[in-house]
Amino acid sequence: MASDLVVYVVVHQPQRLKLPAQPIPKGAIPDDIERCVFDSELNRFYFEKVSKTCYHPATSLFLQMVESGFKMSIGFSASFIKQALAWGPDVLEGFKNLVKHPNVELVCVEPSHSFIFFFDVEKFIDRMKWWRGYLKEIFGFEPKVTDTTEMYISNDVYFALLQAGFEGALMDGREWVLEWRDPTHLYTYVGKKLKLLPRHYDLSDDVGYRFSNWRWEGWPLKAETYARWLKEARGDFVLIGWDMETFGEHQREDSGIFWFMGSLPRELEWRNITCLTPSEAIAKYEDKTHDLPLPEFGCTWAGSGGMEFFLGNSAQLAIFRLMQHVYNKAKLTGHERLLDIAMWLTQSDNLHTIQWFGRTGEEAEVSAYFTPRRWWELGPDRIIWEQQQVYKNVIRAMDHYL
Amino acid sequence: MVKAIKITPKNTEFVVISFEGPDKYYSQAGGLGVRVSELTQVLASKGFTTHVIFIGDPKKPGEECLQEGRLILHRWSQWISDYYPIGVYQGESEKLYDFNDTVPTFVMNDIVKPAVERKKLVVIMGEEWHTAAAMINISDILHYNGLRDKVLMLWNANHTMSFHRIDWGRLNYTTTITTVSKYMKHCMWGLGVNPMVISNGIPKRMLEEHDHELYKEFRTIFPSDLVLFKIGRWDPDKRWNMAVEAVACLKRIGVSTTFLIRGGKETYEGEVMHNAKKLGLMVKEVRVKEPDIKNSLDAFRRALPADILNLKFYLSEDLLRLIYRDSDAVLANSGREPFGLVGLEVMAAGGVAITGSTGEDYVTPFQNAIVLETDDPRELVQYLLFLKEHPNEEKRIRREARITAKQYTWDEILKNLIYRLEFIAFTKNIQMGENPHGQ
């Protein structure tokens, strides 16, 4: 019987690519390269849409909830912050108010939502440290606990986070990693300091993915039912992790998601479930940590929990290779701005949005849902081709700098 | 009695979208830039607020107002043109992407919406294949925003170039397709479209008489029996080799000829010049640093003797009109010409135009010009000899040519265009705001 609940939401908006690929003028300066590569108009469209459906109402709701004793944690990607500074200062202000509340813990994330740790682990450590400092500048708090891109964790990334100086890291509690263990305990690897908090993916996905699905046997999910499930989970605490966009965007307002969340604190209280922040959970269960062997092939919170969701088809593998090439080329130029552009091009979303290629089924539907609607006018094959073209264009545009 | 729709400056604004435009050196690679420049100037001079969106000189301002604010130039994609200083078509694909991507939103937000608020109809005219996708996108975005019935959209083909890149189905659905000649109309029938013919025009100034002292000098420079002139891109369609072979043939039969030529930057020049030399013609290149009329005529004189003078400098309008008028004939003998603006300019100057027989709707054979029916150089030779032997016929042709050209000034073409627009507005049930009769 779990007596504690840890809630985590991540706020992220990708830097969407401009498709079809815009040719880059020969000798273009980095600002113009960036202008050709990323679709700021599309980013703005989605940012404003999601602000209306999710950020504003969900932030208000969470603020009300924490005021009445609910506790939660929240992480922000750099691309979200960048977009909020440009197009939604009021949105950012709302989040600042939320983070300021003592019942809310700020969690660090990999700023670019990228897979940079595959190509350059030292850069990954630097980026994590930089983002931790930047978050302090914006929100006034320095995160001690961190998430990574798509909650990725592997043996080497664990040590990278340890070197970056974090006290705790979130990971997805998949059976293939945990084996016989429950995701409801605090873990560590080979006795090192960095604590691991596994997300209960099944209970998380009941809300994150299945909440509006009327074919699901648990539909319609009520707060009392969900609180009962949380209570029934075996272990010390349940970590629930969601995309912020779950509230109002992935699960629309008319699905009852806001009612559900609004009613949850009361239901938790009735069942004596205490809300904790990740740091509080670490403090409380520090003496009860268990050892968890971490996989060399990392796990994520997407799809079936490995990297298959991102590297499961030939189109994704091609982009993954191009990510490495563009990053390497930028490194060779030694140009800070070009490195920054390359970093954004290593964003995991550029793999996430083409998972559907050659696939069918639920996971492909999720991937297709995240693929900008405008792209579909090109047709599936051309989306793949044009996306590769973006990378090729940038790699060629860097010739000028070498 | 129901009144007809009437388009006037009070109820209508124009937007002309084109790659080429009024910036002389950067934006004018051929006849299109001249067309856009002249058409929009005339529209503005008649009182219509006229916007021109084109790939302009990156060193000039992004927006420029002329003619007391009635003519507004919007130089597009300048951030890209900065990287491509040579001209409008350098970095073509980069510019094209940006054009298609950004022009539609601008047209809707900055031109159509304000015009509609002022209860005005907007006529949007796209030129050439480069603007086809942008025009489709403009129509789509206007439709999405409930503004499509406040706008008339025409897309014009001046040439068959890159027709394969155009989505004809969508273009035909979203715009009224126009072209510049009956020949083009017939070419385009094969694509499943039936374009409306709205002819090209020439500016009124082309008809003005010039009495410059130096004008008298031109013919005295050349001791030859005939002085011929040809201007155009180095392209097989222009039948350069036919012209060169005709000159060689005249030389063989004892008719001395000086052939002035002005081509473009195309590499086909190499073949034509090789052919000329092979035929025994003496070719000289003429370059002039400051090409006013005096310097140019002096350079011609210095370059003689020669059968062919290959002019390698910019020919001003004044110099061109002088050559058009005082040459024995101007060879506008293209095998395929969508309209043939050079022929019309020659006629306006009172010259003898020898044209092909494709898009040159303005010519009547042996009445106001000479029209070739074949690509046989001997046909050209025969007509030139005929003209030499019948000076009265030549004079009559020159006189008739000017009379015809008067019907093709932009002012006249504009009347034709407006009548067509009124018809389109009527058939498409376009909302004309509060002043449909232009009162």
Model confidence pLDDT, tens digit, residues A224-262 = 999 999 999 999 999 999 999 999 999 999 999 999 999
Rounded Cα distance, A387 and A37, in Å? 10
> Token digits for A139?
């929100």
Rounded Cα distance, A73 and A63, in Å? 12
Option in A20, A28, A35 nearest B83 (CB):
A28
Rounded Cα distance, B427 and B267, in Å? 47
Rounded Cα distance, B163 and B393, in Å? 41
With beta carbons less than 8 A apart as the criterion, state whether B430 and B152 touch: yes
Q: What's the whole-number mean pLDDT along residues B325-344?
A: 96
What single-letter DSSP state applies at residue A68? T
Spell out which residues of chain B touch residue A22, defining contact as CB-CB under 8 Å.
94, 97-98, 101
Q: Say if the Cβ atoms of A22 and B84 lie within 8 Å.
A: no
Q: Say if the Cβ atoms of B91 and A24 lie within 8 Å.
A: no
Spell out which residues of chain A touch residue B97, defining contact as CB-CB under 8 Å.
20, 22-23
Spell out which residues of chain A touch residue B91, defining contact as CB-CB under 8 Å.
25-26
Look over chain B and give the mean of its residue pLDDT values, rounded to a whole number.
94
Q: B154 - beta bridge partners?
A: B125, B176
- Give how far B86 is from chain A: nearest CA, Å: 13
What single-letter DSSP state applies at residue A361? S
- Give how far B109 is from chain A: nearest CA, Å: 15
Rounded Cα distance, A210 and A324, in Å? 35
> What amino acid occupies position A310?
F
Does residue B3 register a pLDDT over 80?
no
Interface test with B, best of A19, A24, A373, A393 (most B CBs within 10 A): A24
Task: Give yes or no for B144 touching A (CB within 8 A).
Answer: no
Interface test with B, best of A18, A19, A31, A32 (most B CBs within 10 A): A32
Rounded Cα distance, A344 and A273, in Å? 40
pTM (2 d.p.): 0.88
Rounded Cα distance, A51 and A87, in Å? 10
Q: Which of B413, B421, B366, B411 is nearest to B393 (CA)?
A: B366
Q: What's the whole-number mean pLDDT along residues B216-228?
A: 92
- Give how far B94 is from chain A: nearest CA, Å: 5
Spell out which residues of chain B touch residue A399, defining contact as CB-CB under 8 Å.
none
Predicted local distance difference test score (pLDDT) of residue B10: 93
Predicted local distance difference test score (pLDDT) of residue B438: 55
Predicted local distance difference test score (pLDDT) of residue B217: 87
Rounded Cα distance, A21 and A392, in Å? 10
CA-only gyration radius of chain B, Å: 23
Predicted local distance difference test score (pLDDT) of residue B211: 66
Residue A11, classed as helix, strand or coil, is strand
What is the length of chain B?
Answer: 439
Predicted local distance difference test score (pLDDT) of residue B212: 63
Does residue B432 register a pLDDT over 90?
no
Predicted local distance difference test score (pLDDT) of residue A243: 97
Find the closest chain A residue to B77 by CA distance.
A25
> What amino acid occupies position B211?
D
Residue A19, classed as helix, strand or coil, is coil
Predicted local distance difference test score (pLDDT) of residue A113: 97
Residue A237, classed as helix, strand or coil, is strand
- Give how far B58 is from chain A: nearest CA, Å: 14
Q: Is the peptide bond before A220 cis (omega within 30 degrees of 0)?
A: yes
Option in A22, A26, A27 nearest B97 (CB):
A22
Does residue B329 register a pLDDT over 80?
yes
Option in A23, A27, A28 nearest B93 (CB):
A23
- Give how far B53 is from chain A: nearest CA, Å: 20
Chain A interface with B: residues with Cβ < 8 Å: 20, 22-28, 32, 35
- Give how far B159 is from chain A: nearest CA, Å: 26
Crossing angle of the two packed helices A223-232 and A201-208, in degrees rounded to 10: 170
Predicted local distance difference test score (pLDDT) of residue B89: 95
Low-confidence ranges of chain A (pLDDT < 50): none
> Token digits for B235?
């392209």
Crossing angle of the two packed helices A314-333 and A336-345, in degrees rounded to 10: 170
- pLDDT > 70 fraction of chain B, expressed in percent and rounded: 96
Phi, psi of B134 (to 5 degrees): -65, -40
Nearest-5° angle of CA B190, CA B148, CA B195?
20
**Cβ-Cβ contacts under 8 Å for A160 (sequence gap 6 or more):** A117, A121, A124, A125, A128
CA B101 to each of CA A19, A21, A49, B202: distance values in angstroms, whole numbers, following the listed order: 11, 11, 21, 33
User: Which H, E and C letters describe chain B, residue by residue?
Assistant: CCCCCCCCCCCEEEEEECCCCCCHHHHCCCHHHHHHHHHHHHHHHCCCEEEEEECCCCCCCCEEEECCCCEEEEECCHHHHCCCCCCCCCCHHHHHHHHHHHHHHHHHHHHHHHHHHCCCEEEEEEECHHHHHHHHHHHHHHHHCCCHHHEEEEEEECCCCCHHHCCHHHHHHHCEEEECCHHHHHHHHCCCCCCEECCCCECHHHHCCCCCHHHHCHHHHCCCCEEEEEECCCCHHHCHHHHHHHHHHHHHCCCCEEEEEECCCCCHHHHHHHHHHHCCCCEEEECCCCCCHHHHHHHHHHHCCCCEEEECCCCCHHHHHHHHHHCCEEEECCCCCCCCHHHHHHHHCCCCEEECCCCCCCCCECCCEEECCCCCHHHHHHHHHHHHHCHHHHHHHHHHHHHHHHCCEHHHHHHHHHHHHHHHHHHCCCCCCCCCCCC
Q: What's the whole-number mean pLDDT along residues B130-135?
A: 98
> What amino acid occupies position A274?
T
Residue with tokens 């080497």: A156
Predicted local distance difference test score (pLDDT) of residue A285: 97
Q: Which of A71, A72, A73, A89 is nearest to A81 (CA)?
A: A89
Option in A23, A27, A32 nearest B79 (CB):
A32
Residue A197, classed as helix, strand or coil, is strand
How does residue B435 score in pLDDT terms, banded at 50, 70 and 90? low
Q: Say if the Cβ atoms of A22 and B101 lie within 8 Å.
A: yes
Rounded Cα distance, A38 and B79, in Å? 16
With beta carbons less than 8 A apart as the criterion, state whether B64 and B72 touch: yes
Spell out which residues of chain A touch residue B80, defining contact as CB-CB under 8 Å.
25, 32
How does residue B433 score in pLDDT terms, banded at 50, 70 and 90? low
Task: Give yes or no for B79 touching A (CB within 8 A).
Answer: yes
Phi, psi of B99 (to 5 degrees): -60, -50
Burial class, B290, CB count within 10 angstroms (exposed 0-12 / middle 13-18 / buried 19+): exposed
> What amino acid occupies position B75?
R
Predicted local distance difference test score (pLDDT) of residue B219: 87
Q: Say if the Cβ atoms of B94 and A25 lie within 8 Å.
A: yes
β pairing state of B283-286 and A251-252: unpaired
Q: Say if the Cβ atoms of A25 and B91 lie within 8 Å.
A: yes
CA-only gyration radius of chain A, Å: 21
Does residue B436 register a pLDDT over 70?
no
Predicted local distance difference test score (pLDDT) of residue A396: 98
Number of neighbouring beta carbons within 10 Å of residue A49: 11
Helix H or strand E encompassing A84: helix A78-87
CA B305 to each of CA A55, B221, B256, B275, B327: distance values in angstroms, whole numbers, following the listed order: 82, 11, 11, 19, 17
pLDDT tens digits, A142-190: 999 999 999 999 999 999 999 999 999 999 999 999 999 999 999 999 9
Q: Which of A394, A395, A378, A374 is nearest to A386 (CA)?
A: A378
Residue A363 has, within 13 A of its CA and on its CB side, a CA count of 19
With beta carbons less than 8 A apart as the criterion, state whether B210 and B194 touch: no
